[in-house]
Amino acid sequence: MSRDARPNRVLVSLMSLGLLTWLGLDALSVAPNRLVQGTPLSPVEALGWMVTLLGAMFMACVVWLAWRPSSARLWTALGLVTGLLVAMPLWLSGAVVAVLDPDMPQARVGIGPGLWVLLFLWLLVLVELRIRLRLRRVWVWSLLLFVIAIWGMALSQWLTPLALVQEYQARSEQFLEAVLYHLALVGAAVGASLLIGLGMALAMRRFDGLRRLGFGVLNSLQTIPSLALFGLLLAPLAWLGNQVQWLGALGVSGIGWAPAWLALVAYSLLPMVRNTYVALEGVDPGVIESARGMGMSPVQVFFQVRLPLALPVMLEGIRITTVQAIGLTAVAALIGAGGLGTFIFQGLGQAAMDLVLLGALPIIAMALVADALLGALAERMRRREAA
């Protein structure tokens, strides 16, 4: 058997797991109101035998195509998976209408664990197919935007009875404010850690003793749990806010944005400083000597040679820091910092899981987009340097 004909174990495993999920886990749940636990419905009960069988056949076909993969078969598998992603909201729209009782206006329909797991698995399949087919990122983003557009149209027009959509409609203004505040807090923390990290990395390169001390302190900060660090900051910031008038006018206190921002900066410094230090140290000494031989001053060597060559590795530090900060900002809602974490903890307190998802899903989307964009930018800069 030739190497190209060997089974793609990743695709086979993912789609086989998807097939088992489709047949074994609940697709929807129906509850009389938002607080009562819903009644789970299997795919057959929610979507009917025809849709269930059709979805199973599509996934089984992808498994068969991945068992003896070729370029044409992988392209066919890509088309089938895209079709499944596009068809799911269309199937759901019919299922939601079918399972709702018109005599119960407060009834809510929730997406079951089976469909959430399927969405996750199908997106992993798209990632694997992109790698195997060596698709350009522009094509992948175009495909994802098309799928997102279909889902957006379905959620705004056909899937309004879904509990997740109902939670959003009840908090649309607060949701937009929370998203913007979340992004602003992350941006402020990452920007500050970038400036501080660059300064620390430059100082560590000059003084070896400072390097050992700095990395020791930063490693210690990473071991402190986030909630413990928030708690440690409450008393000193509350005292500063009361004693220093201009800090109090800025809103610095024991709760709110100030302890959240400081904690995010503290957690962001280690990956930022480490990647910046490694990037600056990793520049080829021969290139630096050549620049000096051309008569460049130390400032010109740094800004025109060393820093541009170090940027791809520095971007990896920014990527790691950004993704980490997006997640940690959700926890900051516990100390009144706001953001999307507010919906998560409100939902947990009210046992309303769709409210939890209203806060969690945008955070996941932000992290994925930030990771993809910064990773693509770093990859492009590496290719430019190699050329």
Output the DSSP codes for 15-70: HHHHHHHHHHS--EEEESSSSSPPEEE-HHHHH-HHHHHHHHHHHHHHHHHHHS--
- Rounded Cα gap, residues 240 and 250, in angstroms: 11
CATH numeric code, 172-386: 1.10.3720.10
Q: What is the pLDDT of residue 104?
A: 66
In this structure, what token pair is assigned to residue 351? 């046992």
- pTM of the full structure: 0.83
Rounded CA-CA distance 226/189 in Å is: 15
Task: Give the CA count within 13 Å in the CB-facing half-sphere of 304.
Answer: 11
Element (H or E) spanning 181, and its range?
Answer: helix 172-206
What is the tens place of the pLDDT at every residue in 96-112?
777 776 666 667 788 88
Mean pLDDT of 347-355: 82
pLDDT for 210: 85
Q: Six-digit token pair at 241?
A: 């806010």
Burial class (CB in 10 A: 0-12, 13-18, 19+), 71: exposed
pLDDT tens, position by position, 133-147: 888 777 777 887 888
Cβ atoms of residues 359 and 365 within 8 Å: no
Helix H, strand E, coil C: the string for 55-97 is HHHHHHHHHHHHHCCCHHHHHHHHHHHHHHHHHHHHHHHHHHH
**83-98 residue pLDDT tens:** 998 888 888 887 877 7
Q: Which helix (H) or strand (E) holds 111?
A: strand 108-111
Locate all alpha helices (DSSP H) within 207-306, ordered by sequence.
208-223, 226-243, 245-249, 257-281, 285-293, 298-301
CB 237 within 8 A of CB 259: yes
Question: Does 252 or 341 have the greater pLDDT score?
Answer: 341
- Predicted confidence (pLDDT) at residue 117 exceeds the cutoff of 60: yes
Q: Which of 28-42, 287-301, 333-347 has the lowest mean pLDDT?
A: 28-42
What ranges in 68-171 are assigned the alpha helix state H? 71-99, 113-133, 137-157, 163-170
Give the integer Cα–Cα distance in Å for 255 and 112. Answer: 36
| Predicted confidence band of residue 1 (pLDDT cuts 50, 70, 90) | very low
